Amino acid sequence: MAISIRRARASDSEFVDGLGMQSASTSLSPVRPASADAAATAFRRAMEFCADRNDALTLIAERDGQPAGFLMLLFELTDDVTLQRQAFIVYMAVAPSQRRSGVARTLLAAAEEEARARGASHISLMVTQANAPAKALYEQAGFLDERVQMTKPVRAAAR
Ligand SMILES: CC(C)(COP(=O)(O)OP(=O)(O)OC[C@H]1O[C@@H](n2cnc3c(N)ncnc32)[C@H](O)[C@@H]1OP(=O)(O)O)[C@@H](O)C(=O)NCCC(=O)NCCS
């Protein structure tokens, strides 16, 4: 069945919140162990951060009239070096039962179109190194490795 993309409505908040909290543990890193609760709370913080901004957009992917995935995007961020305005994907997720059928690919294409329409020079995101499905998705969609966050624990308890 065809996938359609639309802007989120207030009535989507339960879907976005539920799926985001449920899937947030994919952002956990073996370098900095934390609980699934911490990841879910981090997702909530990201949502609140976006809710306070007027350059935020959430896209909803639907299949058979039902929400299947979402993507949260900001438009007014600049690249630190060039100061060019870029679109930034804060988070995206697809319902487990809808995965591997092109929902995320369709959401990314829509986000790219929005970025282009708003005059952004690039579209960027952060992804946890250990999140192999997401890394594969972004690489397949044409995203390039640009800068890498390198981390070293400096306290025994953190190793
Ligand atoms: C990552 C995620 C969004 C992918 O969604 P999806 O709808 O299943 O992805 P698509 O079906 O559009 O896949 C497009 C391409 O991405 C890659 N890909 C997606 N899932 C993959 C997986 N589990 N393993 C390897 N490659 C994968 C493939 O190249 C795929 O193309 P193909 O199916 O023709 O091989 C989904 O797994 C998810 O919601 N994960 C939990 C949340 C998350 O990690 N979000 C990203 C945070 S940065």
Strand partners, 77: 86
Distance in Å, CA 105 to ligand 1 centroid: 8
Class of domain 3-144: alpha beta
Using DSSP, state whether 104 is helix, strand or coil: helix
pTM over 0.95: yes
pLDDT tens string 105-134 = 999 999 999 999 999 999 999 999 999 999
142 Cβ inside 6 Å of ligand 1: no
| Mean predicted confidence (pLDDT) in 51-56 | 96
Beta carbons within 8 Å of 140's beta carbon, 6+ residues apart:
105
Cα distance between residue 141 and residue 159, in whole Å:
34
Distance in Å, CA 109 to ligand 1 centroid: 14
Distance in Å, CA 39 to ligand 1 centroid: 19
pLDDT tens string 26-49 = 999 999 999 999 999 999 999 999
Q: Answer whether residue 159 shows pLDDT above 70.
A: no
pLDDT at 1: 75
